[in-house]
């Protein structure tokens, strides 16, 4: 027993020897949900401003009537956007429809005048450093054969990560 | 056999038992590492981050294999004939957390399960390229391993090494440690997920 005691003390003195290093493990998830919300609808159906037979055009970059949408996703991630430019809108009160041709502009900042017209059906864009991207929705509709009434339509936009 | 002979035999056995208790078997193992006063150098080579890269939410399990370029490489330099014990501590609860924020530890939408693995190469070949070292590496089950910095060649053990003393420089060798693993990418929130892996290396003392 007298021989064993010094060995035990020696081992305790060696505790904490050696060396350590820390390494980081990481991953970036870019394919999580993209949230798309409508901030304001397009104002094309404001009846007081419409007349039968006219063509209505809402410029997505300059007109206040443009609809606004905001996409939220991964900061600085590239995204691909596509949308259906031609859409039939139907008359609520009965028979009748119109064809609406959408125009869309986009920007990573909340500044309509600085947005860029997305003329191609598929574009490569990028979220800003807060993971946000804005869209302004305008377009053109010919009312020359339109019947009086209210028209409802949809706008289909597809956003995905690159 | 008479009664007197039987008594003598019993006394003999009792003595043997007492002797065995006084000299436990562990006394035969010598922990040379206890007397090592030279340090161990542990350094990270490239890459020094276990980066699973850009992942798609919900894509499921992904792996960095030992042979992959993304495997982290650590270099251990120390006294060639000594054993080292390596312990790795994976990220807390084995999760990578969104923005490394520990508040998300209980949130399945802000954490990614991760399994950290390791392998080592200790054949002692100087200037071996890393890919070859990976091919010859030994994969470890669990999070700790003990091995000689330079593995002893085949055959019986040689004589005990020269103890460290004044004027004597023990031979130094390098071993390599490889850190890799598996990640499960569930349907989680987008963003950067991180965790810390601690690696500790020390000479084995066998005490």
The answer to whether B44 faces chain A, any CB pair under 8 Å, is yes
Region B182-204 average pLDDT:
91
Per-residue tokens: A67: 């609809």
Q: Which among B193, B197, B203 has CB closest to A18?
A: B203
Quick one: which H or E segment has residue B83? strand B83-89
Contact B56 A29 (CB under 8 A): yes
Q: Inform me whether the pLDDT recorded for A50 exceeds 90.
A: no
The Cα B192–Cα A24 span in angstroms is 12
The 3-state DSSP class for residue A126 equals: strand
A43 close to B128: Cβ distance less than 8 angstroms: no
Q: Which of residues 131-160 of B touch A (CB under 8 A)?
A: none
The Cα B72–Cα B48 span in angstroms is 5
Closest CA to A104 of A49, A157, A60, A41: A60
Q: Inform me whether the pLDDT recorded for B30 exceeds 70.
A: no
Predicted local confidence at residue A34, as pLDDT: 82
**Alpha helices, H only, chain B:** 3-22, 130-135
| Tens-place pLDDT, residues B59-80 | 899 999 999 999 999 999 988 8
Predicted local confidence at residue B107, as pLDDT: 92
* CATH for B26-154+168-203 (2.40.10, 1.10.10, 2.60.40, 1.10.3470): 2.60.40
The answer to whether A25 faces chain B, any CB pair under 8 Å, is yes
What percent of chain A lies above the pLDDT cut of 90? 23
Q: Confidence band (pLDDT; 50, 70, 90) for A121? A: low
Residue of A nearest to B205 (CA): A11
Predicted local confidence at residue B46, as pLDDT: 84
| Tens-place pLDDT, residues A84-119 | 888 888 888 888 888 889 999 999 999 999 999 987
The answer to whether B105 faces chain A, any CB pair under 8 Å, is no
| Tens-place pLDDT, residues B113-165 | 999 999 999 987 777 888 899 999 999 999 999 998 888 766 566 666 777 67
Region B78-85 average pLDDT:
87
Distances (CA, A) of B30 to A84, A92, B63, B83: 78, 92, 40, 12
Quick one: which H or E segment has residue A9? helix A4-13
| Tens-place pLDDT, residues A53-73 | 578 888 999 988 899 999 988
Query: Mean of the per-residue pLDDT values for chain A?
Result: 78
| Tens-place pLDDT, residues B89-100 | 999 999 999 989
Predicted local confidence at residue A47, as pLDDT: 53
Closest CA to B120 of B168, B178, B207: B178
Architecture of domain A2-161: Sandwich (2.60)
The distance of Cα B19 from the centroid of its chain, to the nearest Å, equals 37
Residue B59 makes CB contacts below 8 A (sequence gap 6+) with A31, B185
- Domain extent listing, chain B: 26-154+168-203
* Strand order across the A122-126 sheet: A122-126, A78-83, A157-161
CA angle at B190 for the pair A128 and A77, rounded to the nearest 5°: 35
B41 close to B77: Cβ distance less than 8 angstroms: yes
Region B181-197 average pLDDT:
91
The answer to whether B78 faces chain A, any CB pair under 8 Å, is no
This model of the complex carries an ipTM of: 0.77
Beta carbons within 10 angstroms of residue A153's beta carbon: 18
Predicted local confidence at residue A55, as pLDDT: 80
Predicted local confidence at residue A5, as pLDDT: 29
Higher pLDDT, A25 or B29: A25
Query: Mean of the per-residue pLDDT values for chain B?
Result: 80
């Amino acid at each position: 027993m007298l021989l064993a005691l010094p060995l035990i003390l020696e081992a305790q003195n060696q505790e904490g020897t050696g060396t350590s290093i820390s390494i980081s493990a990481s991953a970036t998830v870019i394919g999580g949900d993209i949230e798309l919300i409508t901030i304001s609808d397009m104002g094309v159906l404001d009846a007081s401003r419409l007349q039968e037979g006219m063509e209505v055009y809402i410029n997505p970059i300059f007109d206040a009537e443009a609809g606004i949408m905001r996409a939220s996703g991964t900061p600085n991630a590239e995204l691909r956007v596509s949308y259906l430019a031609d859409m039939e809108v139907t008359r609520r009160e009965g028979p009748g429809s119109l064809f609406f041709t959408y125009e869309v502009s986009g920007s990573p900042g909340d500044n309509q005048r600085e947005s860029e017209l997305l003329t191609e059906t598929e574009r490569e864009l990028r979220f800003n450093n807060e993971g946000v991207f804005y869209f302004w929705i305008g377009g053109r509709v010919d009312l020359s054969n339109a019947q009086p009434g209210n028209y409802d339509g949809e706008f289909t936009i597809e956003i995905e990560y690159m | 056999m008479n009664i007197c002979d039987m008594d003598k035999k019993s006394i003999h056995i009792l003595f043997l038992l007492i002797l065995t208790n006084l000299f436990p078997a562990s006394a035969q193992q010598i922990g040379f590492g206890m007397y090592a006063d030279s340090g161990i150098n542990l350094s990270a080579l490239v890459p020094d981050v276990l980066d699973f890269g850009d992942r798609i939410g919900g894509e499921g399990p992904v792996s960095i294999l030992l042979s992959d370029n993304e495997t982290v490489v650590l270099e251990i330099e120390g006294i060639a004939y000594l054993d080292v014990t390596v312990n790795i501590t994976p990220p807390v609860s084995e999760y990578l957390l969104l923005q490394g924020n520990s508040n998300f530890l209980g949130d399945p939408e802000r954490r990614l399960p991760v399994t950290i693995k390791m392998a080592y190469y200790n054949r002692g070949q100087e200037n071996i390229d890393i890919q070859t070292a990976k091919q010859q590496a030994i994969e470890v089950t669990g999070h700790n391993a003990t091995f000689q910095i330079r593995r002893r060649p085949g055959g019986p053990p040689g004589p005990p090494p020269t103890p460290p003393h004044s004027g004597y420089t023990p031979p130094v060798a390098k071993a390599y440690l490889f850190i890799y693993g598996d990640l499960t990418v569930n349907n989680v929130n987008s963003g950067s997920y991180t965790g810390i892996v601690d690696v500790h290396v020390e000479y084995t003392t066998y005490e």
